[in-house]
Each structure stands twice: as C-alpha cells, then as structure tokens.
Amino acid sequence: MVGSNIRTISYQPGPSVAQVLSFASQNRFAEIAKAKGVDVLLSNHNVADHSLSNTDILAHRAPGASNPYVVGVKNFYNYMRINALCSQVIAAREGMDLDI
C-alpha cells in the first residue's frame, strides 16, 4: 500500500527540501514497484482504489473472473507517477518554488 495523502499536505511558499525529497521518493517508489512487478492497487483511501465498487465486484464475480484490484504493472506505475505529479501541481498552486 502506498499513502500519498496529497490533499492534506500543507505547503509553504519557497523551496522545501522535504517536499522535493518527498516527490523524488514517490517517483523512486514508482520505479521500484515497476521493476518488482507490482500490479495491485490497494489504498487506505477507498476513492483511490475504488474499494466501494471493487468489494462489490469481488463479492459477486464469477469463479475465475479477474480481480478488480489487479490493475497491471503499467497502470500501477502510471498511477504512482500521476500521484507524484498531482502533488507537485498542488505545491505549485500553493506558491512553492520546487526548482525541479
């Protein structure tokens, strides 16, 4: 599981080493997950992984039907990269000069 929690981060104007490292960490995690073949998207935020609908799908799926949490390596990688980009956009909107 990955917790980005991008909506509750409080950004301050000006450069922030911690935030730049956080974005780099998100991207690094995406690369490691891709290399290791991570293909399942699970989150503690039910909106991020569609848990409300996925649990219903799991409860009623036919035997042998695909698991909705298995999104594929490429889709998981793209999810993580987009998540990192969204964090950067939020920081920029808050006036943070990331210089990255």
Q: Looking at residue 92, what is its pLDDT?
A: 83
Which range scores top for mean pLDDT: 2-16, 42-56, 65-79, 80-94? 65-79
Q: Looking at residue 1, what is its pLDDT?
A: 46
Quick: pLDDT tens for 34-79: 999 999 999 888 888 899 999 999 999 999 999 999 999 999 999 9
Of 48, 49, 4, 1, give the one whose Cα is nearest residue 26.
Answer: 4
Alpha helices per DSSP H over 1-100: 17-36, 51-60, 73-93
For residue 87, report the phi and psi dihedrals to the nearest 5 degrees: -60, -40
61: tokens are: 């799926």
The average confidence (pLDDT) of the chain is: 84
